[in-house]
Structure 1
């Protein structure tokens, strides 16, 4: 297992006070770096973390370099970006996704309107079919005396035949 250091041990190895290590680790975490913690929630620094602190001290001792800029530079070198930078990176993608979702929503609304219209047409067609079926299934006999019902056209046809 890798060697781990608590705050006091890391401060001793780096050559600073425990409060300085606490100040530095908070600055790193603010900019997106995550340090390990024990199951009890105590900080546990790796040898790489200790080296990171040493590099920070070297860098901040250069003329014109402040600790916050040194932290950002070290994290950039390690490939760790500030969460704000990640948000800026993903913002155009999120915007594009939102626009796509809006387009799909509008298409779905149009399709739903068309579907509703088709359903109304289908109901009307079913009503017409049902009505036509009822008309075609009238009984062939008169209910009163059970005699065949002869249409007016049939009577006219018979009359014209007899007249000829």
Structure 2
């Protein structure tokens, strides 16, 4: 069973203007038939509703009677209107079903996007880990070089002090 999203879809299907469809469905509802509505209150038409519109147009055009009379004729020809009205009042209507293939394609696209994002996250984490290792090894190497430089400086000072102690006072400036 095809579900038409709204007035515009039915109008397009029947070759009528949306305002004409709205006028017709309001007249039909005034005569006791209830169309399905979404949670937001918009009218949702089914194949059955489309057939009612077709029958209404056919009766109106063939017999040349007023739309109001044609609506009454169509409604009286429907045998299960009262049963349908009761079930319509008792149930909460949902949005029309979305095409499953469109949903699957959307899900696949979303899955691909998530996979790509996960790859990017993994690459960023790996890059961050490498940077952290470089920083740690760089600071360790830097610390070693600094300590070595300090030792060499201290050794050099020590040598200079020892050398100065060995010199006599008159050779101090040389």
Larger helix percent: 2
Q: What is the TM-score when the length of structure 1 is the normalising length? A: 0.46
Q: What is the TM-score when the length of structure 2 is the normalising length? A: 0.44
